[in-house]
Amino acid sequence: MLRRLLLHIGCAIALFTALDSADAQRLASQEKPSFDQIEQMARRHFLAIRGYHADQLLVQSEIREFLPQLRQLGWWSFPWRRVPRYSLADDQFIVSLVYVRHPPVELPTPLAAPERIYNRMEKLSYSPFGRILLLELSQREDFYTAIMQEPAALCGQSKILAELDVVEEIERLDIDEPTGHIYTLDQLVESLRHEYGVVK
């Protein structure tokens, strides 16, 4: 039994190595779809979701739910599976803040710079004082525009932080330094474009 199994494995290895690299590359390239197909599939998937808004904050579970659809294009490669690592977990602080307090779908106009807004929110959430600031800002109707102010102005408007000397701590968070995370559909598409370029 063992000898038969080893024989089958040996035959499979021999068959695989019989394909030269040129043939393997040709077969792979035939299976690889155009990136336009991938982008269209991504946009169709999310835009078809009821209540979805272009400025919506995407979370890990939503991205994981979408990625298997790439198999429908006849091509699936390991690098795609890295993409969810760059998105926010469903239980992160700013996710609940956005979905519960200020869903973008309820806004009368699109956000001017959603990626920058979510980036600032995540950076602020790294600090206890930043979280206090976010919770206070979330009580305001102009939450998404107020958060674009400079740290000193934000702290000065806070009922709690205005009494404390925390401006320097908030500034050290460097809230405009990119986190490298995926927040929106446009960023997801760009991340997929990057991974697409990795695989030849």
Q: What is the pLDDT of residues 53-95, one digit of tens each?
A: 778 899 999 999 998 888 788 766 556 677 888 999 999 999 9
Per-residue pLDDT, 197: 82
**Residue 177 to residue 121: CA distance in whole angstroms:** 12
Placement of tokens 């393997």 in the chain: 24
Strand partners, 87: 182
**Residue 102 to residue 105: CA distance in whole angstroms:** 9
Per-residue pLDDT, 78: 56
Q: What is the mean pLDDT of residues 102-126?
A: 83
What token pair was written down for 8?
A: 């089958």
